[in-house]
Chain A
Amino acid sequence: MFLGIDIGSSSSKAVILDENLNLLGKAVINTGTGTLGPEKAIEIALSKAGLSREAIKYSIVTGYGRITYAKADKQITEISCHAKGVAFMEPNARTVIDIGGQDVKVIRLDDGGRVENFVMNDKCAAGTGRFLEVMARILDCDIEMLASLDAESTKEIIISNTCTVFAESEVISQLSSGAKRENVAKGAHHAVAKRVAGLAHRIGIRPEVVMTGGVALNKGVVSALSQEIGQPISVVKNPQIVGALGAALFAAEMFKK
């Protein structure tokens, strides 16, 4: 059995595969590096698979918290792991857009599904899940509700500031001058999409485009992004665990070596 762990800034994911690469267990916990999140995610994935720790033959850790996590056999970056996971699930994917809690990455794959080039955002939270969290708070709703608000929108309120802090006050003043919450939600999704599209254009977008990461669950962002890049985007099943899946796939490969 092979274990992949993806420790992000705000969540931890674990995936367990058997020798034939069948998915036996998976878990997503909403706390990330520096917390008990990684251990909890592993425990849950193990119990879903009906296995104990001893059954794991090889494990790989990825994500922002990979360097400090000492219990895995090896660490590999989230770029390589996301690419691996996507290539396994969607062999036709050539561009991967991953939006996580605090970072955005765009990865271009070659025809063999290997990383050809990649870009990541810088330290700024614009265009990440963090930006949407801030917007959800101002709109007084759960982050999961943003997409359904957007679905009810009648027009897009343009949010011109890319900086999360400035965008926050911009939105507050929009709301106080009567803008509808639904339209603001749409605006927030487009703000993220524009930022991410800019990043994607830096390395060039080749079809098919696949989205991963927690934010891919938000239909509003996916459709805004698809509009911005002018291409259809598909979302993989369980977009949050793609990194952990890729790590587990690497674990299986490396064990065989």
Chain B
Amino acid sequence: MNSIEQMISNFEEQSKYPAKAVAKVMKETGKKAVGCFPYYTPEEIVYAAGMLPIGLWGGQTEIKSADKYLQSFCCSIMRANVEMGMKGTYDLLSAVIIPTYCDTLKCICENWKTAVPNIYLIPMVYPQNIRIEAGVTYMMAEFKRVQAELEKVSGRAITEKDLLDSIEVYETYRKTMQEFVSIVNQYPNTLNARTRHFIIKAAYFSDKKSYTAKVAELIAELKKLPAEKFDGLKVVITGILAEPAALLDSFVENNIAFAADDLAQESRQFRTCIGSGKTAVEKLARRMSDQSCSLLYDDKKTRGQLLIDLVKENNADGVVVSMMKFCDPEEFDYPIFKKELEAAKIPMLYLEIEQQMDAAEQIRTRIQSFAEMMDKH
């Protein structure tokens, strides 16, 4: 294995076995870990408290106990999170932060207290109107409340300097990731749908500072190589996430690369830089109000244009919609951007996914059909 392959395989290992990865980094750093439910949980505050923010994005688990709290028509990612909470997978965490973006998350916030009483819950409510000044003020108050909660968990006060230092770590992380996703286009064979995903996902189970250094190293190594030849299709993928791995493998098999993404688990996390403000908390709040995605109130409905721009900038051949089954916020967006993409004559593939999907046969047929369809055009 050359060093690039080795680096990629390390990232993949971390992403595939999060519990192991988290236990290892806790031991190495001597830090406590705090679970961060999706989406846009203020990881910077956790990091400033000297703890490790760990992303909780569901996983491949059989849903048994979670049925007690979540009906079968709730999204698979949250059913998995509750299941793993109840099963003890998250027992190494000192607390979890659950933001309440959608109805499912709101329910989980309540359920958590009885379902997983041993893991301290820090609920978090974002304002509906993130763009107006009142929304920013509210967000700042909410961040301060979460900060106080995290101080209790860590047992130490978080200073303004701690916060600013942490913001710097995260800003470097975001810039590095923006560079990473932008070079994917030059190395679509090495950074295929599968490896690209695992590299990005590993961030959730690492110490952000050392993770960022590793990604920077990977980028530097890649840049030494000439751009790769690629004769397959390039697509922009949009949705909450694109999992399980079998789904990504189908893209690789059919020679389809992800030229860019608009996934909540991937680019949406790092595409918006820190905002301006007098205090650390204000900077965090202003960054939130600059965000735009299906989970946040967007009166301008910008997603369609965002996708069209991503297609153009990256010379992509089409858009793949990775629709998380039973996700209201994503489903509400779909008819709007579908129309816009059709008007722009951008081919689109719609896939409805569940994280625990084991029979990927149907999905495979759709992906292959899409590749065949595009081939003939």
Contacts and interface: CB of A to CB of B under 8 A. Distances in A.
Interface of A: 64, 67, 76-80, 103, 114-120, 122-123
Interface stretch (B112-120, B142-150, B228-236, B365-373): B365-373
Given A103-B362, A114-B377, A118-B369, 19 more contacts: A64-B361, A64-B365, A67-B361, A67-B364, A76-B372, A77-B365, A77-B372, A79-B369, A79-B372, A80-B369, A80-B372, A114-B373, A115-B372, A115-B376, A117-B347, A117-B348, A119-B350, A122-B352, A123-B359
A57 B84 CA distance: 54
Contacts of A114: 373, 376-377
Interface in B337-377: 347-348, 350, 352, 359, 361-362, 364-366, 368-369, 372-373, 376-377
Contacts of A64: 361, 365
Contacts of B347: 117
B368 A77 contact: yes
Contact of B362 (A115, A117, A122): A122
A115 B368 CA distance: 13
Nearest to B376: A114
Contact of A120 (B359, B362, B376): B362
A79 B374 CA distance: 13
**Chain B interface extent, by class:** 10 to 19
B373 A120 contact: no
Interface of B: 347-348, 350, 352, 359, 361-362, 364-366, 368-369, 372-373, 376-377
Contacts of B376: 114-115
A79 B373 contact: yes
A19 B365 CA distance: 29
B359 A115 contact: no
Nearest to B359: A123
A94 B374 CA distance: 17
B339 to A, nearest CB: 11
Nearest to A103: B362
A255 to B, nearest CB: 18
A245 B343 CA distance: 34
A118 B362 CA distance: 13
Contact of A123 (B348, B362, B364, B368): B362
Which of B352, B362, B366, B373 has most A Cβ within 10 Å? Answer: B373
Contacts of B359: 123
A26 to B, nearest CB: 23
Which of B348, B369, B377 has most A Cβ within 10 Å? Answer: B369
A120 B367 CA distance: 12
B318 to A, nearest CB: 11
Contacts of B369: 77, 79-80, 115, 118
30 contacts: A64-B361, A64-B365, A67-B361, A67-B364, A76-B372, A78-B365, A79-B365, A79-B366, A79-B369, A79-B372, A79-B373, A80-B369, A80-B372, A80-B373, A103-B362, A114-B376, A114-B377, A115-B372, A115-B376, A116-B373, A117-B347, A117-B373, A118-B373, A119-B350, A120-B362, A120-B365, A122-B352, A122-B362, A123-B359, A123-B362
B251 to A, nearest CB: 15
B373 A115 contact: yes
A117 B350 CA distance: 10
Contacts of A115: 369, 372-373, 376
A77 B374 CA distance: 13
A77 B365 CA distance: 6
Nearest to A116: B373
Contacts of A117: 347-348, 373
A119 B347 CA distance: 13
Contacts of B361: 64, 67
A122 B357 CA distance: 12
Nearest to B348: A117
A116 B374 CA distance: 9
A38 to B, nearest CB: 17
A128 B364 CA distance: 20
A62 to B, nearest CB: 10
B333 to A, nearest CB: 16
A114 B365 CA distance: 17
A115 B366 CA distance: 12
